[in-house]
Chain A
């Protein structure tokens, strides 16, 4: 009997992406065009450009970094269509929010099928990208000398202080997340670090320090890339494919942009609220989620997800992470284990190892789940049948979060 009691709000019938890496010769619209064409061609029963009722794009820094604007007009020419388009900026959650908006468009009944695409071309301003990323933070934080890793480092330092109990395993666990995600990306041909090989915990903990206690190997990279999805009304999804992946819930929640005005910086309230709404809508619990794409811009954020989603109790994820990593005997995906329940997180390497072209990430997470649920993930396909997935995308240090629950068989 299916666990799923609610009706889906939309369905994904096709998906495409570029490799995440430094793509010096590509411009943003060409990257979207390529990802979009792959997505169109991936729909088994056919999907034409004229079937696109609207487009939802997600990108963060295009105006500053790429010196472009009016994405609508750029993409109208690139795709050769004149449908309504919406461009969403929500920092690192731009992609997730584009998908959220697309679901609203579908649910409203206005569109039968839409194109969702996230993109970011970060390598155009190598020398200033560290400054550009601070648009995702509060101006007072920027003017206090903070860089973006420094903000997450501030959350990480307080987390270790409050919950680490002086146990060095806490910091080891936060390094194990990076090691795990690099291991997961080895079979992912699109991942930025697929050819890097395994990264040991010791390598993470001895890597260059950038904003203490965050080291370079706790951090996601600077990336270029684009990802596209074809999203339809669930009722017509099977007109396009026999195996659509349904979006059972699409949620967004917000919180203050500034760390210093939040009551708690050792968790992300926007995540908790979005997760709560998603579970309420679907009737599911965290125990029902089999795989998840979590936002791991820095490893501490993956630890927060494990607690904010309810998989581990507040302040205890590091113990679960440590024990899961240490007890792993397999060769492929390293699951998190809690009381016999397994949750595999970031199957393609996550932001850390697959790459983090900011605006593309939220869409990439849905792409990864789409592929995993359809058993099309190739070298990084999970080695058991899974049916329910969660995507978790965070903007800034938690000013916005989106959560999507996806399922294949309903």
Chain B
């Protein structure tokens, strides 16, 4: 496909956009500029199906795909009916691998949810094509949630987290035996990557916060596994989530992809908080996303701790669920873990990544935070830290003087693996999922190369009202629909992302 065709198509495909006749209500997908019934005199309104659910009308299990879909090997393509608008659209069923003897008729009538996924790519050097014409079963791992904007109080105040969204893929691989406390890890499906994680996490953050996407005017995506060396995932997120005021196919918002190993996202939380407190920045919210299809060479020690997924925070000053009270950053040029441009996998210094790297920076940031704020360890209800494994964050916290009950809630790495840029944010999310109003949280990230950010957050009363709109980490970890894959499948799917 060519770049101009890609641009034309994605405008509709990212959100399954259609047009509706203002007179008779007839809906057209693909969009039309006039109504077949009412003619050209009727105004056509945009509608989309990004947050809707549909129903399989019919389909086929494709065992010999066209060349562009060969990497996916086999899948179901289907016609999906959106009954709310009386339209049908084509799509591919994702998170699902048909068996040899699948009776596709058994899928007719099943409810499905649109998912933002890769369709295919033009080889390893060409464009990657995404769309929401991918659907997973509604009664499976990924549930459908409404996105209802609630008008905010407009009271303003200290910047903080307005909402958050966590996306962990459906698939897992178990370690034969725990590796530094990691029991099992999340695995991307064959059509997932950092950009799709970012969109899904951002979608959930919008749903949770209930703020209007048009008021989000900045988006940061921190990752060390961006699908492109040059072309920001951020722009795809803005287009898919419609962040900022819409204008001629684009949006009045900005952002950047950032890279600082596993703290590429947390480093920008303070920048986001600064922006929403700054009058020249006209937006009310900034979205900060940490996402990774965490990379590891085959059979490397990291290959038994890496996971996949993403977390998005919406930072603002109105209706926050946790205020951002204090911030400390500590950096040194420590070459413990790195990946040269063009290299496929990161290299690391083995035990050098421990004491002189992770522990030195994390412990320094934590201790400095205590010193600067005057808090003692007992003043914190929760500690959430970057988790390359389950051992490091526990040892670091204990070295500073925290107890297990303070950091245990955030140790989700045991069941989802190391999400790299999303790791400390996944730990924070697990804490926010259960924290009560007035709880105090110490968030500390770590990024190789090296640095640590520490934040003090205080939970507000609003957390309980917004919790009903969240998809918690625990729900995803304990879902009965989690599906386990073998090592070969895990490697194959990870390589595709």
Interface footprint category on B? 35 or more
Interface hits, B90-135 → A, CB 8 Å? 90-92, 98, 100, 102-105, 108, 119-120, 129, 131, 133
Q: Measured between alpha carbons, how far is A370 from B299 in the docked complex, in Å?
A: 68
Q: Across the two chains, which residue of chain B brings its CB closest to A209?
A: B63
Q: Per-residue CB proximity of A140-181 to B under 8 Å, as 1/0?
A: 111111110111011101101100000000000000000000
Find out whether the CB atom of A155 lies under 8 angstroms from the CB atom of B67. Answer: no
Find out whether the CB atom of B65 lies under 8 angstroms from the CB atom of A143. Answer: no
Find out whether the CB atom of B13 lies under 8 angstroms from the CB atom of A143. Answer: yes
Q: Measured between alpha carbons, how far is A258 from B57 in the docked complex, in Å?
A: 14
Find out whether the CB atom of A140 lies under 8 angstroms from the CB atom of B133. Answer: yes
Take A160-B105, A211-B60, A212-B60 as given contacts and tell me if A261 and B68 are in contact as well, using a CB distance cutoff of 8 Å. Answer: no
Q: Measured between alpha carbons, how far is A300 from B30 in the docked complex, in Å?
A: 27
Q: Which residues on A sit within 8 Å (CB–CB) of B133?
A: 140, 143-144
Q: Which residues on A sit within 8 Å (CB–CB) of B57?
A: 158, 260, 265
Let me know if A89 is at the binding interface, CB within 8 A.
no
B7 to chain A, nearest CB (A): 14
Take A145-B65, A150-B62 as given contacts and tell me if A212 and B98 are in contact as well, using a CB distance cutoff of 8 Å. Answer: yes
- How many residue pairs link A and B with beta carbons under 8 A? The number is 114
Stretch at the interface among A17-25, A37-45, A96-104, A130-138: A130-138
Find out whether the CB atom of B90 lies under 8 angstroms from the CB atom of A146. Answer: yes
Q: Which residues on B sit within 8 Å (CB–CB) of A258?
A: 90
Q: Measured between alpha carbons, how far is A10 from B133 in the docked complex, in Å?
A: 48
From B91, B105, B120, A157 is in contact (CB under 8 Å) with: B105
Let me know if B281 is at the binding interface, CB within 8 A.
no
Find out whether the CB atom of B58 lies under 8 angstroms from the CB atom of A146. Answer: no
Q: Measured between alpha carbons, how far is A214 from B64 in the docked complex, in Å?
A: 11
Interface hits, B33-61 → A, CB 8 Å? 57-61
Q: Which residues on B sit within 8 Å (CB–CB) of A151?
A: 60
Q: Measured between alpha carbons, how far is A67 from B357 in the docked complex, in Å?
A: 59
A163 to chain B, nearest CB (A): 12
Find out whether the CB atom of A147 lies under 8 angstroms from the CB atom of B92. Answer: no
Q: Which residues on A sit within 8 Å (CB–CB) of B104?
A: 153, 157, 212-213
Let me know if B89 is at the binding interface, CB within 8 A.
yes
Interface footprint category on A? 35 or more
Let me know if A268 is at the binding interface, CB within 8 A.
no
Q: Across the two chains, which residue of chain B brings its CB closest to A147?
A: B66
Stretch at the interface among B75-83, B155-163, B285-293, B391-399: B75-83
Let me know if B270 is at the binding interface, CB within 8 A.
no
Q: Which residues on A sit within 8 Å (CB–CB) of B66?
A: 130-131, 134, 142, 145-147
Find out whether the CB atom of A260 lies under 8 angstroms from the CB atom of B88. Answer: yes
Q: Per-residue CB proximity of A250-270 to B under 8 Å, as 1/0?
A: 000000001111000100000
Q: Across the two chains, which residue of chain B brings its CB closest to A265?
A: B58
Let me know if B9 is at the binding interface, CB within 8 A.
yes
Let me know if B72 is at the binding interface, CB within 8 A.
yes
Q: Measured between alpha carbons, how far is A210 from B77 in the docked complex, in Å?
A: 13
Let me know if B29 is at the binding interface, CB within 8 A.
yes
A300 to chain B, nearest CB (A): 12
Q: Measured between alpha carbons, how far is A226 from B53 in the docked complex, in Å?
A: 48
Take A144-B77, A157-B108 as given contacts and tell me if A150 and B90 are in contact as well, using a CB distance cutoff of 8 Å. Answer: no
Q: List 7 A-B contacts (CB under 8 A).
A: A140-B30, A143-B131, A150-B77, A157-B58, A161-B58, A259-B90, A260-B89
Partner-B contacts on A (CB < 8 A) = 127-128, 130-131, 134, 138-147, 149-151, 153-155, 157-158, 160-161, 209-214, 258-261, 265
8 further A-B pairs in the complex, CB-CB below 8 A; given A144-B90, A146-B60, A212-B60: A131-B66, A143-B9, A145-B65, A209-B61, A211-B64, A212-B98, A258-B90, A260-B29
